[in-house]
Amino acid sequence: MAASIKRPSVRRLLLVQLAVVGLATALAAGSGGAPAALSALLGGMVAFLPNAYFAWRVFRYQGARHSRNIVNGFYRAEAGKFGLTAALFTLVFVAVPPSNPAFFFGAYVVTLFVHWLGPWLLRRPSHT
């Protein structure tokens, strides 16, 4: 009987990213008020939404028979993530210019840095 291939669960990583966005928004609200909080929220969401899209899109195929589809899916997911990031930056700066760019880019960068915790957050529990 062949072992079932499990998709890696990125839910914890995405939840930690959302928590970081919330924390950055709360810190911005405490130090700069509502306009700074909105800037931090927008910056965090510009980082979070493309990552969520990538995670949703990249793991569509499993197994050795689909190796070509896996590679193509990865490149498509990365291209979509890049395009979505560019579109969100454009949308934010045209529709709702951040009143405090420091909080906007700070929340963006901190949310992206959560990926450094990926190996720890995605680690599967030992069955031994």
In this predicted structure, what is the pLDDT of residue 2? 44
Report the pLDDT value the prediction gives residue 12, as an integer from 0 to 100.
83
Using CA atoms, how far apart are residues 109 and 43, in angstroms rounded to an integer? 8
> Which segments in the chain show pLDDT lower than 50?
1-3
pTM over 0.85: no
What's the pLDDT score for residue 3?
46
Question: Which residues lie below 8 Å from residue 55, measured CB to CB, with a gap of 6+?
Answer: 10, 13, 14
